[in-house]
Amino acid sequence: MAHLPVIFIPVCFLLLVAWPSFTAATTLEELQLQLNQLSKNYKILEEKVAKLEIALHVAKESAGKSSISRTCRDTRLADPSLSSGMYWIDPDGQGVGDDPIYVFCNMTTGSTAVPHDSESPTDVGHCADPGCYSKAVKYVASSRQMLALAHLSAQCYQSIKYDCNYAPLKLNDVTYAWWNDKNGNPQYFWAGNNNRVHICQCGIDGNCVDPATKCNCDAAAPIQLSDEGVVTKKDVLPITKLNFGRTQLETSSGVHTLGPFECTGQVAVNRMPSSCEDLWKTGHTLSGLYSLMGVSMVESVYCDFSKLPHESGFQKWVGFVDIKSSPTFFYVRRKGRFDKLNTPIPFDHVMLNAGGAMNWATGIFTAPRTGKYFFSASGMAAYPKASSRLYLDINIYKNGHSIAIGGSDSYSSHWTVESFTLQAISDLQKGDRIWLAIGGKAGSGYIYENGFFHFTGFLLEEAVSVSLRAPN
């Protein structure tokens, strides 16, 4: 009754304006003309009221646009008490991209159905050539919104049926019928997801009326037949045009029925986001810089959510983010002399040992995280006077294998001290061990005392992806 004043007042006004005063000379013909005019006025008013109602509904929806779900599945999750029916959704994101779309939501399954203008059975008429009948399919949604819906959904599909009487889809290697996919490309499969072959559901099931064909209609029999199937190849849907031919005979007939574009399920992101698309799928719509999980390190990227994932510029790589789950660096020194061969060199002074990975008493560092590490050692080697060459090799060992070598030598008639230095960068797995040792020498040289021997190391770059998978 809320609309009664809106309808009643204009009707009365129209009646007063349109109905002239009667005279004795008024004829039956004139009355009929006046009645026709009143009828036209009423229809105009009725159309205006209907448009106002639609505008009011859209205005209410627009006012609450920020709360519109992206799919029917999300709508059902937000309110499980809702019944199946028509709802507004916004697949490409709230507040960005194209306007929301009005779709049918199946609240039992959570599926989204996008209606179009070709759902009713439609006769293709009579014509002879391949694709001589052609009908473009007009959806209530933009192609952008339907593409976004497909990106968000686990499955998308569309049913199609062709009732035929001596109207083959393909005959004698001539293709008379096909449909166009979302990109306008011709497709010749009428069920399933194999777009490399001409086939219908009976061909998939192996029960076509003519075993030599892949579709019932291809039997080209003068009897009523039908091919009905569901196209499930998501990346080519929706169907945008239908094309049929070879129905020129009086006895030939073809009627197509195309179901709505339907999507269901969700493409789940069950891990740390590794792309802007992952963020988009989880509901992010604010463009900006984001930190994402790369192959091994955290990366910084710019996400432009005004675009869809397949569009150029949607994601722009910026650089790496230096993240370490725990600080790891050390600096140890040794003051006493050391001359043992192939033995880890212990230390007697700890200057730094963040993370506690360096056991200074044994001289062994154990990697606490998988990643890239840097090590450096320097010191002095002392040599007595000798008549032949003396040398001392210092090695950095990784799990018993030398990864770096440095040292010094001497050939002098008096006692000398020579410096040495060595560095290494190495990829280590958690638990790998690093130490210094004298790997070789000639004569009685030794590592000089008085605190000139230094060993440092630190984590350069952590393989964060590995650390996240490791148990705590």
With a cut of 60, say whether residue 156 has pLDDT above it. Answer: yes
If you average pLDDT over every residue of the chain, what do you get?
Answer: 88
With a cut of 80, say whether residue 48 has pLDDT above it. Answer: no
Mean predicted confidence (pLDDT) in 118-132: 97
Mean predicted confidence (pLDDT) in 425-442: 96
Residues 21-44: pLDDT tens digits? Answer: 445 445 777 777 777 887 778 777
**Stronger pLDDT, 54 or 415, i.e. the higher one:** 415
With a cut of 50, say whether residue 11 has pLDDT above it. Answer: no
Task: Record the tokens describing residue 144, joined without a space.
Answer: 């952008």
Mean predicted confidence (pLDDT) in 253-280: 93
With a cut of 50, say whether residue 160 has pLDDT above it. Answer: yes
Residue 22: predicted pLDDT: 45
- Model confidence band, residue 56 (pLDDT cutoffs 50, 70, 90): low
Mean predicted confidence (pLDDT) in 122-134: 97
- Asked if residues 405 and 439 have their Cβ atoms less than 8 Å apart, the reply is yes
With a cut of 70, say whether residue 172 has pLDDT above it. Answer: yes
With a cut of 70, say whether residue 281 has pLDDT above it. Answer: yes
Residue 472: predicted pLDDT: 55
CA distances from 387 to 22, 125, 232, 409, 441 (A): 144, 111, 87, 13, 16
pTM for this prediction: 0.64
Listed residue (112, 114, 198, 118) closest to 155, CA to CA: 112
**Stronger pLDDT, 447 or 296, i.e. the higher one:** 447
Residues 61-87: pLDDT tens digits? Answer: 545 445 789 999 999 999 999 999 999
**Stronger pLDDT, 177 or 28, i.e. the higher one:** 177
* Phi-psi domain of 406 (left: phi exceeds 0; alpha: psi -120 through 50; beta: other): beta
Backbone phi and psi for residue 417, each to the nearest 5 degrees, phi listed first? -130, 125
Q: Which amino acid is at 325?
A: S
- Asked if residues 426 and 403 have their Cβ atoms less than 8 Å apart, the reply is yes
Mean predicted confidence (pLDDT) in 256-273: 92
Mean predicted confidence (pLDDT) in 190-218: 96
- Asked if residues 185 and 243 have their Cβ atoms less than 8 Å apart, the reply is no
Residue 152: predicted pLDDT: 94
Mean predicted confidence (pLDDT) in 177-191: 97
With a cut of 70, say whether residue 339 has pLDDT above it. Answer: yes
With a cut of 60, say whether residue 19 has pLDDT above it. Answer: no
Residue 2: predicted pLDDT: 38
Mean pLDDT is lowest, of 90-99, 200-209, 335-344, for 90-99
With a cut of 70, say whether residue 15 has pLDDT above it. Answer: no
With a cut of 90, say whether residue 302 has pLDDT above it. Answer: yes
Mean predicted confidence (pLDDT) in 397-425: 92
Mean predicted confidence (pLDDT) in 144-167: 96
Task: Record the tokens describing residue 459, joined without a space.
Answer: 């984590």
Give, in degrees to the nearest 5, the angle at Cα 290 between 285 and 293: 120
With a cut of 50, say whether residue 7 has pLDDT above it. Answer: no
Residue 16: predicted pLDDT: 38
With a cut of 80, say whether residue 118 has pLDDT above it. Answer: yes
- Model confidence band, residue 20 (pLDDT cutoffs 50, 70, 90): very low
CA distances from 440 to 237, 346, 407, 408, 424 (A): 71, 17, 9, 11, 18
